[in-house]
């Protein structure tokens, strides 16, 4: 998908296309895990298309364009990219120091 093609799409069509391509990435990952994939370069091509679509959507938002209802509440976290929980640090306790008796 070329950038010119992306600019012609409406906001709703961009959201639909992003969802479709993200599903395709998921399907490709499943194919890799279960069977041999014919064209591994598909990953790069599909990810580039998703990036192109998301860039156009954010450019429209920054330009003050209308945001479709489907994308209005979506952020990266809401779209599925979850932050990893903070790693728990292991705390160690030290024994209290006792004074040595002086003789």
pLDDT in tens, 15-65: 999 999 999 999 999 988 888 888 889 999 999 999 999 999 999 999 886
CA 68/CA 57 separation, integer angstroms? 10
* φ, ψ dihedrals at 73, nearest 5°: -95, 0
Question: Around Cβ 60, how many Cβ atoms within 10 Å?
Answer: 17
pTM of the entire predicted model: 0.59
45, containing H or E segment:
helix 42-62
Q: Which domains are delineated in the chain?
A: 3-72 (1.10.287)
* φ, ψ dihedrals at 64, nearest 5°: 90, 10
């Amino acid at each position: 998908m070329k950038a010119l093609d992306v600019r012609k799409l409406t906001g709703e069509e961009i959201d639909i296309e992003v969802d479709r391509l993200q599903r395709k990435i998921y399907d490709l990952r499943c194919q890799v895990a279960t069977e041999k994939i014919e064209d591994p370069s598909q990953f790069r091509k599909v990810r580039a298309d998703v990036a192109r679509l998301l860039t156009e959507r954010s450019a429209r938002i920054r330009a003050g364009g209308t945001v479709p209802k489907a994308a209005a509440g979506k952020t990266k976290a809401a779209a599925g990219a979850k932050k990893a929980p903070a790693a728990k640090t292991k705390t160690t306790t030290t024994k209290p120091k006792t004074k040595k008796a002086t003789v």
